[in-house]
Structure 1
């Protein structure tokens, strides 16, 4: 007897799905049988991934910091998924660097919009239905910077500390509801987000060869998503050995 993939029949929304951790996570969840809805701002990479994953995937180009775009896209996804989503992976984000005194208010606001307000907007749209159904799983991709500060990380750390706080409040509110919530916080991970920084040639940053890989984080997400329904993985902190 062949055992079906463990997530067969589940509908999953992955944000920031076109590259890095999001792409690796989408692949892992699709391989486990899930129907994956891919959201990102990069149309070419997004479409390539959708073609690779085939019938199990559907791509949506969307800037989640745009409230109107996000509302329309999420409504379309929920309708296409049959009225509800089983898993939300809040992964999309930006990684600006700059000392607090050199960070403009506009840049700070843009970072919070991408890393904190946009994930909240998705929660606001999706979480109530999960609670009504008594099942669902929200997985937040955090960072080592959600509990440890680094110089030059004022905007990013503020957004990630905020994401951690939002996760912890949501976890407290969801206890006993049947809805699971998980925070996956990886150390530096070798994704295209580092390309503008060139950490191999910039003092103070880890070499890319010493970073985690996107598949490492995707494996953690998959593991948390496939625990028995009565098991909640509150938090996973990943680091390089």
Structure 2
């Protein structure tokens, strides 16, 4: 229970990597606030995790909704969160020519603007308390280019840049920042793609598991306070 007494906010917590990370944080003793759009799945997870978890249905692309939820969480935590895991996102696959501008904008809203909004909300209190840890969920596509990833890669390259600026600005402040960038991970995000039957994609059996990524997050946030894990890139052996 190495995180007993800590509070953590995980976005996209109802399934996939977010669910695994939230579960691992609760198992490590943290009080976990679960954010996702799927209220039913979120509440079922909170019930499974017990008293350390609470469900907060929220569309992270809706600024007013985020502001309301964050005000509620700050009231419950006395104004501060110890850990933010910016995980929620979307994964559209289409060539640039076949990507409508509206879809590009929606992808940036979910994968880049929403993490910025949450970061902007928690950072002042972290600075005031001289501690905190921001984990940004990246991707292999935040450095490597794949066809069909015009919107997704743009958002993830941006998220990596945001992480690197944050690390520069927070150095020496007590606030730690980690980018976790996994290769393809077997989550429901792949269901529309059907990678086992679609050429050019890795089969699910060769992908990482969500728990593999959660293990990396837990390792990063449980290092001694003077140690910052800048970046973790995870691939299947």
The TM-score by the shorter chain falls in which range?
Answer: over 0.9
What are the superposed Cα offsets for residues 55-76 of structure 1, whole Å, 9 maximum, x if unpaired?
1001010001011001111111
Partner secondary structure for residue 88 of structure 2: coil
2-side partners of 1:32 and 1:47: how far apart?
20
Partner secondary structure for residue 180 of structure 1: strand
Match of 2:15 among 19, 28, 31: 19
What are the superposed Cα offsets for residues 39-89 of structure 1, whole Å, 9 maximum, x if unpaired?
000111111100001110010100010110011111111211221100000
1-side partners of 2:39 and 2:191: how far apart?
19
Partner secondary structure for residue 51 of structure 1: helix
Partner secondary structure for residue 103 of structure 1: coil
Which residue does 2:230 correspond to in 1?
A: 234
- Greater than 2 Å deviation, 4+ residue runs: none
State the superposition RMSD in angstroms.
0.5
Map 1:133-144 to 2 at 5 A. Answer: 133-144=129-140
Which residue does 1:169 correspond to in 2?
A: 165
1-side partners of 2:112 and 2:55: how far apart?
22
Match of 2:126 among 120, 126, 130: 130
1-side partners of 2:38 and 2:128: how far apart?
33
1-side partners of 2:202 and 2:37: how far apart?
27
What are the superposed Cα offsets for residues 123-176 of structure 1, whole Å, 9 maximum, x if unpaired?
110011101111000000100000001000000000000000000000000000
> Residue 91 in 1 paired to residue 87 in 2?
yes
Map 1:1-241 to 2 at 5 A. Answer: 5-241=1-237
What are the superposed Cα offsets for residues 86-124 of structure 1, whole Å, 9 maximum, x if unpaired?
000000000001000110110000000000000000011
- Residue correspondences, number: 237
2-side partners of 1:50 and 1:31: how far apart?
12
2-side partners of 1:52 and 1:145: how far apart?
33
Task: Compute the TM-score of the two structures, normalised by the length of structure 2.
Answer: 0.99
Unaligned 5+ segments in structure 1 are: none
Partner secondary structure for residue 233 of structure 1: coil
Partner secondary structure for residue 102 of structure 1: coil
Task: Compute the TM-score of the two structures, normalised by the length of structure 1.
Answer: 0.98
